[in-house]
């Protein structure tokens, strides 16, 4: 478990400066002092307690995807400013300016990238009253930890499934079924190198689909390239709903939780899913190192884990809750008994390394391979 | 600018040029230097450095360029980008010429109305209109259903979407209105007496067209082609949406390098090569144009131009105009119809009528916030662009000076650089300088993006004003400021209004640069693209229709605010974008 903010993990000099700044802050001079010293205001947020988190008010800037913007569940005493990312990578560009955001919501695979850029810090979950409401499968997951410290608080989860139109095609049971001539030019894939290459790594038989050796990576990309004739288009997330409804594609993978019900509602009434090559992701809160209102970040995160909040955000986003008490809010066609049971068919992934000196192929190479695949 | 207008400009040169030019142009050039030239220069330097994770290592290298040159994939995508934008621009310019010709010479009182309709097609969300095209062209899309129902085909035509034809068609659709405007402006500037004189001297319509109309509108044609070619070459969203596995353009690869690939130097090198590709193709076109002009003096061409063709009397340009309007408005009509669709899909099947998508949008606090931000940015950027653009347009129209051509190039530079490159370079610059991202940074970027359009509209109007009117006011004792206040600005009022509305429309629909500079805020296009992550719904169609209605409402208010000859004049002003 991470240590308290008052632990010796934090440089002594910062504590001293913070003390000075606190005194100045009482005199209303803090902003001027910070501007002069260049010390980010995040220094104020180091000494958090449950009480200070409960009492915090003021602005809170969060960056996340729109489906999770559930205003009804927001703490009323925060002035919440929600900014949107449309791709995973935008998290990296949009948090480049220190102090812009207090927290972000992104899948656990981005931890390494944000850590490499020194943007996030460990989260002290002892400050979250609702932490114990998170299902143990997520709370104890290794994929949210680095070096034993928690960097990401699970918010929602989902698994990438294979979706097909049962009016047009039988359920694909193996990878070979997807190569049927009947499916040539009838398959769609999202424009997401992480998701697609992970799925093809599973198809290629990689034991750790996010941690590919050079040989495994090459085999995976070769398999992906051989699959090209089957693919009609590489779409943005959400576009598959129209593609299925119009009959342009019959199979899509990996697709996520909101896709099935929306595709059915849009007119592709006999859409079905299989767990072929399925794997899971967790969309998490991460707290930024330069957060201006870190207490507000903790307050917001804590509030989002409560059962009622999870129900609301599950209904709004159609993603699965990490609090099992909110399972009843999942749409009937995807509802499960417990997250343990649901996760059995779709293992969690840790994310892809960004270190180029290690044994695994780094994420940057995944993206370049994906770009070349698309452009070939 | 027509030859006739150029003579006005020359007449207007007087002895007080230096302060006039300095005050008019210098602030704009300084602004463009800091907002565009400096960030882009940094980007060029980046292209010679090595990549690190979302940063660069300052070690000189040519490997980014050698990687590009030795990769058949990147070279072929570059070729595909340039060739498809070249083909789309050629077709768009031909159709645009016919439509502009009809608007100016054939449609009489309907001309300005048609031009207003062409402009209106631009005033809705670009992305939503593109999605509407997929509803029309898809395998079970509206067009295929209509073709099958009419018995013309038995099975859906799958090539309509997801391939080169779809890419070309979509690029023509997007950039046709932009091509029409400069051609319209150049045709509008032709002195009708020249055409009359040609006919009086015995030339037939064909010969008059080849010898008078076409040469005098060549400048507009050239501008239209350059606009179309550059904008289409930078556009990767349209191709990606409709091109299927062929839809990857170089802009998309550039965007990826500044995104997940985290290879800024290679992205910078690709950008430099793309801009160089634009320059190369446009230079080639210039050579072809000069060669054609030279050939025009040869005997073969003279004989061809002198042919007395008895063309059948068919309303060719009018027919093309009608079909062009159908082409431009079919997606808009689709957007409108499916904004009332009862399912969460803004396309076929249409299962029932509802207005709840409009209610949802109007009640959505996220949309309110985004709309407020968009309107604020549009207002600031229009005001800022006017402040910089109006004096510059005055200087450019009324004076000839050493840096005149350079100034024009600088003004149009923002159009010739892909939006994602401008966005990424501005982001790096703002962060380096510690400027907080948000409304102000986005408005500053938008000022740069709308200035070319503002200057062109106002300058075109200024060139039509006889400078002797202003001269007369000065002779009668008015000070330069009084002349400006009581003569020039009142005459320019409609042009300023038209330019302002055009600029606001561009600002309201801008996404590529905004996404980098908006910080913790969101504009309507950012909100729309975020919404699309969970699927395009009729709510987004509703947003597009509301934007269209709002823009048209603004135009109507603006037009009614102008006193004299208002609808005709306003339609003319808004179209007067030319180089």
* Mutate: best of B127, B247, B255, B260, partner A, most A CBs <10 A: B260
Residue A344, min C-alpha distance to chain B (Å): 26
3-state secondary structure of A160: strand
**Cβ distance A75 to A111 under 8 Å?**
no
User: A83 contacts in B (CB within 8 Å)?
Assistant: 518-522
* Mutate: best of B73, B139, B243, B262, partner A, most A CBs <10 A: B262
CATH dotted code for B1-46+352-579: 1.10.3720.10
Q: Which tokens belong to B472?
A: 């007369």
Residues, chain B: 579
Residue range B299-323: mean pLDDT, rounded: 73
3-state secondary structure of A145: strand
Closest CA to A253 of A271, A226, A268: A271
Residue range B357-386: mean pLDDT, rounded: 92
Determine the residue of chain B that is closest to A83 in CA distance. B520
Compute and round to an integer the Cα radius of gyration of chain B: 24
Contacts of A203 (CB under 8 A, 6+ apart): A175, A220, A223, A277
Closest CA to A285 of A312, A306, A305: A305
Top pLDDT among B125 and B93 is at B93
pLDDT one-digit tens code per residue, B20-76: 667 788 899 999 999 988 888 888 998 999 988 777 888 899 999 999 999 899 999
3-state secondary structure of A335: coil
Cα A260 to Cα A266: distance, rounded to the nearest angstrom: 10
Go through B516-545 and write b for each residue having 16 or more CB atoms within 10 A of its CB, e for each that does not.
bbbbbbbbbbbbbbbbbbbbbbbbbbbbbb
| pLDDT at residue B4, rounded to an integer | 35
Label residue B19 by pLDDT band (50, 70, 90). Answer: low
Q: Is B485 on the interface with A (CB under 8 A)?
A: no
Residue A22, min C-alpha distance to chain B (Å): 24
Cα B51 to Cα B40: distance, rounded to the nearest angstrom: 17
Cα B341 to Cα B355: distance, rounded to the nearest angstrom: 8
Q: Taking CB atoms and an 8 Å limit, are A86 and B518 in contact across chains? A: no
Label residue B258 by pLDDT band (50, 70, 90). Answer: confident
Residue A87, min C-alpha distance to chain B (Å): 9
In DSSP notation, B26-51 reads HHHHHHHIIIIIHHHHHHHHHTTSEE
Q: Taking CB atoms and an 8 Å limit, are B343 and A85 in contact across chains? A: no
Cα B483 to Cα B422: distance, rounded to the nearest angstrom: 39
Residue range B434-443: mean pLDDT, rounded: 92
> Minimum mean pLDDT among A223-237, B377-391, B445-459: which range?
B445-459
Is the dihedral angle over the CA atoms B429, B435, B438, B442 positive or is it negative? negative
Contacts of A25 (CB under 8 A, 6+ apart): A44
User: A259 contacts in B (CB within 8 Å)?
Assistant: 535
State how beta strands A58-64 and A78-84 pair.
Answer: parallel
| pLDDT at residue B156, rounded to an integer | 84
Show the low-confidence residues of chain A (pLDDT under 70).
Answer: 1-46
- The region that residue A318 occupies, defined by phi over 0 for left and psi between -120 and 50 for alpha, beta otherwise, is left
Q: Which value does ipTM take for this structure?
A: 0.80
**% residues pLDDT > 70 (chain B):** 89
| pLDDT at residue A37, rounded to an integer | 37
**Cβ distance B438 to B373 under 8 Å?**
no
Residue range B286-300: mean pLDDT, rounded: 76
Closest CA to A43 of A99, A1, A3, A81: A99
According to DSSP, residue A328 is labeled: G
From B257, B519, B533, residue closest to A65, measured CB to CB = B533
Domains and CATH numbers, chain A: 45-156+282-333 (3.40.190.10), 158-281+335-375 (3.40.190.10)
3-state secondary structure of B149: helix
Tally Cβ neighbours within 10 Å of residue A215.
10
Q: Taking CB atoms and an 8 Å limit, are B519 and A364 in contact across chains? A: no
Label residue B465 by pLDDT band (50, 70, 90). Answer: confident
* Mutate: best of B51, B139, B164, B245, partner A, most A CBs <10 A: B245
| pLDDT at residue A321, rounded to an integer | 96
User: A240 contacts in B (CB within 8 Å)?
Assistant: 535
CATH superfamily placement of domain B57-193+219-291+319-338: MetI-like (1.10.3720.10)
In DSSP notation, A81-113 reads EEEE-SSTTHHHHHT-STTS-SEEEEEGGGHHH
**Cβ distance A24 to A30 under 8 Å?**
yes
| pLDDT tops 90 at residue B382 | yes
Q: Taking CB atoms and an 8 Å limit, are A248 and B138 in contact across chains? A: yes
How far out from the chain centre does Cα B528 lie? 21
Determine the residue of chain A that is closest to B253 in CA distance. A371
Assess whether the region B1-46+352-579 and the region B57-193+219-291+319-338 belong to the same CATH fold: yes
| pLDDT at residue B39, rounded to an integer | 86
Cα B225 to Cα B179: distance, rounded to the nearest angstrom: 7
Give the largest Cα separation in chain A, rounded: 75
Q: Taking CB atoms and an 8 Å limit, are B519 and A94 in contact across chains? A: yes
From A83, A232, A367, residue closest to B256, measured CB to CB = A367
Closest CA to B538 of B351, B336, B247: B336
pLDDT one-digit tens code per residue, B157-168: 878 888 889 999
User: B366 contacts in A (CB within 8 Å)?
Assistant: 66, 69, 71, 82
| pLDDT at residue A32, rounded to an integer | 37
**Cβ distance B393 to B455 under 8 Å?**
yes
Residue B60 sits at φ, ψ, to 5 deg, of -65, 135
From A83, A242, A354, residue closest to B345, measured CB to CB = A242
Tell me how far CA of residue B100 lies from CA of B12, B115, B353, B452, B576, in angstroms. 29, 8, 38, 21, 12
| Domain definitions of chain B by residue range | 1-46+352-579, 57-193+219-291+319-338
Q: Taking CB atoms and an 8 Å limit, are B535 and A267 in contact across chains? A: no
How far out from the chain centre does Cα B19 lie? 32
> Torsion angle of alpha carbons A126, A130, A131, A134, nearest 10°?
180
| pLDDT at residue A152, rounded to an integer | 97
* Mutate: best of A70, A76, A86, partner B, most B CBs <10 A: A86
pLDDT one-digit tens code per residue, B126-178: 888 888 888 888 877 888 888 998 888 888 887 888 888 999 999 999 999 88
Q: Taking CB atoms and an 8 Å limit, are B531 and A66 in contact across chains? A: yes
Residue range B329-338: mean pLDDT, rounded: 90
Highest average pLDDT, of B57-71, B212-226, B252-266, comes from: B57-71
Strand partners, B281: none
């Amino acid at each position: 478990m991470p240590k308290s903010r008052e632990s010796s993990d934090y440089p002594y000099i910062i504590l001293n400066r913070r003390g000075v700044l606190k005194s100045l802050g009482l005199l209303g001079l803090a902003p001027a002092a910070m501007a002069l010293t260049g010390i980010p205001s995040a220094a104020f947020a180091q000494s958090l307690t449950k009480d200070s988190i409960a009492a915090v008010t003021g602005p809170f800037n969060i960056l996340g995807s729109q489906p999770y913007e559930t205003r009804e569940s927001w703490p009323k005493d925060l002035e919440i400013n929600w900014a949107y990312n449309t791709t995973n990578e935008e998290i990296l560009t949009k948090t480049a300016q220190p102090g812009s955001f207090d927290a972000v919501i992104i899948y656990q695979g981005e931890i390494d990238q944000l850590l490499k850029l020194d943007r996030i810090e460990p989260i002290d979950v002892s400050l979250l009253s609702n932490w114990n409401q998170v299902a143990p499968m997520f709370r104890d997951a290794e994929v949210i930890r680095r070096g034993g410290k928690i960097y990401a608080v699970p918010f929602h989860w989902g698994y990438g499934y294979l979706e097909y139109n049962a009016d047009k095609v039988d359920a694909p049971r193996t990878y070979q079924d997807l190569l049927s001539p009947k499916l040539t030019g009838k398959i769609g894939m999202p424009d997401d190198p992480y998701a697609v290459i992970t799925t093809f790594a599973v198809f290629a038989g990689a034991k750790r689909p996010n941690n590919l050796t050079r040989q495994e990576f090459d085999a995976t990309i070769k398999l992906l390239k051989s699959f090209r004739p089957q693919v009609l288009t590489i779409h943005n997330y959400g576009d598959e709903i129209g593609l299925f409804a119009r009959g342009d594609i019959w199979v899509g993978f990996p697709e996520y939780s909101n896709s099935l019900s929306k595709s059915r509602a849009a007119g592709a009434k006999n859409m079905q899913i299989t767990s072929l090559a399925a794997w899971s992701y967790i969309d998490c809160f991460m707290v930024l190192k330069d957060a201006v209102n870190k207490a507000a970040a903790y307050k917001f995160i804590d509030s989002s884990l409560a059962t009622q909040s999870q129900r609301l955000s599950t209904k709004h986003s159609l993603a699965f809750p990490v609090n099992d008490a909110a399972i009843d809010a999942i749409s009937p066609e995807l509802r499960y008994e417990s997250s343990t049971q649901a996760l059995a068919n779709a293992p969690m992934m840790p994310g892809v390394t960004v270190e180029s000196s290690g044994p695994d192929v780094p994420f940057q190479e995944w993206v370049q391979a994906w770009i070349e695949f698309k452009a070939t | 600018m027509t030859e006739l207008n150029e003579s006005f400009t020359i007449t207007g040169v007087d002895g007080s040029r230096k302060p006039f030019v300095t005050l008019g142009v210098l602030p704009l050039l300084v602004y463009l230097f800091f907002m565009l030239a400096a960030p882009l220069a940094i980007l060029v330097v980046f292209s010679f450095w090595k990549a690190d994770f979302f940063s660069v290592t300052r070690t000189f290298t040519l490997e980014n360029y050698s990687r590009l040159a030795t990769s058949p994939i990147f070279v072929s995508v570059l070729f595909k980008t340039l060739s498809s934008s070249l083909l789309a621009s050629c077709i768009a310019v031909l159709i645009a010429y016919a439509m502009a010709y009809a608007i100016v010479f054939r449609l009489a009182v309907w001309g300005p109305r048609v031009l207003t309709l062409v402009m209106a097609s631009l005033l809705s969300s670009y992305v939503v209109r593109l999605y509407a095209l997929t509803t029309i062209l898809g395998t079970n899309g509206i067009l295929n259903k209509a073709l099958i129902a009419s018995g013309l085909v038995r099975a859906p035509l799958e090539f309509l979407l997801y391939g080169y034809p779809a890419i070309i068609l979509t690029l023509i659709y997007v950039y046709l209105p932009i091509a029409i405007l400069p051609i319209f402006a150049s045709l509008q500037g032709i002195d009708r007496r020249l055409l009359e004189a040609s006919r009086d001297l015995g030339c037939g319509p064909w010969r008059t067209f080849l010898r008078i109309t076409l040469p005098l509108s060549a400048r507009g044609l050239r501008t239209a082609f350059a606009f179309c070619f550059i904008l289409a070459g930078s556009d990767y969203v349209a191709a990606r949406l409709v091109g299927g596995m062929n839809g990857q353009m170089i802009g998309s690869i550039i965007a990826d390098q500044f995104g997940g690939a985290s290879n800024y130097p290679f992205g910078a090198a690709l950008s430099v090569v793309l801009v160089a590709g634009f320059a190369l193709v446009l230079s080639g076109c210039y050579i072809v144009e000069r060669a054609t002009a030279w050939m025009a003096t040869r005997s073969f061409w003279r004989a061809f131009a002198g042919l007395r063709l008895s063309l059948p009397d068919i309303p060719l340009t009018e027919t093309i105009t009608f079909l062009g309007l159908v082409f431009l408005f079919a997606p808009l009509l689709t957007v409108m119809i499916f904004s009332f669709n009862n399912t969460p899909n803004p396309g076929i099947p249409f299962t029932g009528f509802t207005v709840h998508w409009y209610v949802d949008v109007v009640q959505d606090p996220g949309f309110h916030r985004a709309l407020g931000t968009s309107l604020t940015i549009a207002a600031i950027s229009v005001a800022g662009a006017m402040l910089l653009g109006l004096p510059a347009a005055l200087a450019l129209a009324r004076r000839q000076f050493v840096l005149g051509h350079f100034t024009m190039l600088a003004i149009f530079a923002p159009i010739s650089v892909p939006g994602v490159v401008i966005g990424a370079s501005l982001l790096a610059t703002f962060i380096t300088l510690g400027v907080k991202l948000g409304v102000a940074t986005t408005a500053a970027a938008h000022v740069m993006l709308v200035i070319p359009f503002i200057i062109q509209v106002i300058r075109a109007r200024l060139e039509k004003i006889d400078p002797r009117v202003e001269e007369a006011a000065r002779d009668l004792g008015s000070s330069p400021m009084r002349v400006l206040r009581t003569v020039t600005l009142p005459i320019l009022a409609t042009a300023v209004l038209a330019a302002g509305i055009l600029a606001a429309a561009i600002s309201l629909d801008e996404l590529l640069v905004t996404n980098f500079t908006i910080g913790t805020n969101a504009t309507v296009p950012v909100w729309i693209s975020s919404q699309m992550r969970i699927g395009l719904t009729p709510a987004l169609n509703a947003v597009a229709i509301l934007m269209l209605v709002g823009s048209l409402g603004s135009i109507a208010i603006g037009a009614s605010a102008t006193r004299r000859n208002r609808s005709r004049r306003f339609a003319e002003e808004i179209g007067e974008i030319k180089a």
